[in-house]
Structure 1
């Protein structure tokens, strides 16, 4: 469930932020903001579904997932294939996210 919540949150956040990008940088209609804001609300909701004791840890671990998802967006939505440095960086971030979320904690 945690992985699905993170992936869904990342897609929702990227789509919502892209709606603002499209409006402000690509001269799209202001109506792009309606689904964009709804998508950002979905993003916030999905993060609450992550099974973690503290919000800060949830958000920190989410950062790694967001970076990987942003590179997938770069490739699929913008047509720019991530290079090896993008890939290596994303893997490092995902490892860091896993350590933050699932690392052993003392009571």
Structure 2
């Protein structure tokens, strides 16, 4: 369940941030900001669903998922193929997120 929440949150955050990028850097209409703000609100809501005893731990684990989702966005939406350094960095981040999520707690 937590992985699904993190993936959905990452997609919402990336889409919301990309709408601002498109407006400011790609000269898109300011109307792009409306769905972007909705996506960012959805992102914040979704992170509250992450099963964690502390917000900081949920956000830290989410960070690894966000990085990998950003690399996939780079490829799927922006058409730029990730290189080996992107892939290696993403794998390291996912390993860190797994350690945070699944590590034994006292």
Task: State the TM-score bracket (shorter-chain normalisation).
Answer: over 0.9
Deviations 1:61-105 (A, max 9, x none): 000000000000000000011011110100000000111111011
Deviations 1:29-66 (A, max 9, x none): 10000000000000001111111110000000000000
Q: Name the structure 1 match of 2:42.
A: 42
Q: Name the structure 2 match of 1:58.
A: 58
Please tell me the root mean square deviation across aligned C-alpha atoms, in Å: 0.5
Q: Name the structure 1 match of 2:75.
A: 75
Cα displacement (A) at 1:21: 0.2
**TM (normalized to structure 2)?**
0.98
Map 1:1-107 → 2, pairs under 5 A: 1-106=1-106
Question: Which segments of 5 or more consecutive residues in structure 2 lack a partner in the other structure?
Answer: none
Query: Aligned partners of 2:49 and 2:98: how far apart in 1?
Result: 17
Query: Aligned partners of 2:104 and 2:33: how far apart in 1?
Result: 41
* Misfit runs of 4+, over 4 Å: none
Question: Which segments of 5 or more consecutive residues in structure 1 lack a partner in the other structure?
Answer: none
